[in-house]
Amino acid sequence: MGNLCNFLSFFLLLAAPQGLSAVKYIVTNTVPNQPGGQRFDKEIGVPYTLQNMDIINKFIWNIFEQPTNADTKTVPVLNVYISDFIDATAYTNGDNINVSAPIIQSYPPEPDRAKFTFTGIMYHEMTHIFQWSGIGTAPGGLTEGIADYVMVKSKFYDPNSYTRPGAGNRWDEGHGVTERFLEYCDSLRKGFTVALNKKMRYVYNDNYFFELLGKPLDQVWREYKVKYGNVPVSQSKLPHTKY
């Protein structure tokens, strides 16, 4: 495919399961002549991204137990832009995902590892598109933790470099710290994270932890830290995302 075609948007309309409305996926490489954009085209590509967006979307709906349109966010079109910025690995705005081309260039040198890294980032970022956030009232660290939670469930992450259980100073630090805390909450009540996401459709409240676990949030966090020996903060080696 020539450079001229790389400037164009490519889209795929894929059928959603169980009667859910289909989402149109569009991927645009805005920097096909830059090294990161060239690497995206060579080692990842638009067809792979489109195919996996559908797989990821269905995975998220399944994780969140959202079988009908009434359960899900309305997202008619989801755009992915490969763009020139360096202050984040990726970020969302509206129903758009922006991925850093310069950071794609810095992915692991092996093509398979680069594709693996990109896919993990897509699981995280697409979760931001479809998760509930209490219409903006949920702590940003919680929404980041839930996005990582879905990524970890997908297995597209490196368990050897990921945050250890018990790490962190606050439950809502985000990313791996919050993800590991959510896993602990799941161990106290099966499906806790899914139930918490459902409760956050219109508003967030710390009392949801008490409603779901029978204990106040602060107590749950203290008991979690005690269980794992108050492990110091362990920063994930995976690329950070901006939300």
Residue 81 to residue 6: CA distance in whole angstroms: 12
Say if residue 114 is in the same domain as residue 8.
yes
Buried b (16+ CB within 10 A) or exposed e, 18-48: eebeebebbbbbebbebebbbbbbebbbbee
Q: 134 near 208, Cβ under 8 Å?
A: no
Say if residue 54 is in the same domain as residue 141.
no
Q: Give the domain-ending residue among 105, 130, 155.
A: 130
Helix-then-strand count for the chain, H and E: 10, 5
Q: Give the domain-ending residue among 87, 112, 130.
A: 130
Say if residue 138 is in the same domain as residue 124.
no
Q: 212 near 195, Cβ under 8 Å?
A: yes
Q: How many CA atoms lie within 13 A of 223 on its CB side?
A: 11
Say if residue 207 is in the same domain as residue 123.
no
Structural domain of residue 159, as residue ranges?
A: 134-243
In sign, the C-alpha dihedral spanning 239, 83, 23, 92 is positive
Residue 240 to residue 90: CA distance in whole angstroms: 8
Say if residue 101 is in the same domain as residue 186.
no
**Residue type at 59 in one-letter notation:** F
**Residue type at 220 in one-letter notation:** V
Q: What is the pLDDT of residue 243?
A: 38
Residue 192 to residue 213: CA distance in whole angstroms: 8
240: nearest Cα among 82, 138, 44, 106: 106
Say if residue 47 is in the same domain as residue 17.
yes
Residue 61 to residue 215: CA distance in whole angstroms: 28
Q: What is the pLDDT of residue 233?
A: 60
Say if residue 105 is in the same domain as residue 156.
no
CB neighbour class for 14 (10 Å; exposed up to 12, middle 13-18, buried from 19): middle
Provide the whole-model pTM. 0.89
Say if residue 143 is in the same domain as residue 114.
no
Number of domains in the chain: 2
Q: How many CA atoms lie within 13 A of 54 on its CB side?
A: 18
CATH of the domain at 91: 1.10.390.10
Q: Give the domain-ending residue among 130, 164, 187.
A: 130
Say if residue 178 is in the same domain as residue 107.
no
Say if residue 93 is in the same domain as residue 110.
yes
Residue 117, helix vs strand vs coil: helix
- pLDDT by residue for the chain (243 residues), tens only, comes to 444 344 334 444 333 445 577 899 999 999 999 999 999 999 999 999 999 999 999 999 999 999 999 999 999 999 999 999 999 999 999 999 999 999 999 999 999 999 999 999 999 999 999 999 999 999 999 999 999 999 999 999 999 999 999 999 999 999 999 999 999 999 999 999 999 999 999 999 999 999 999 999 999 999 999 999 876 665 444 444 543
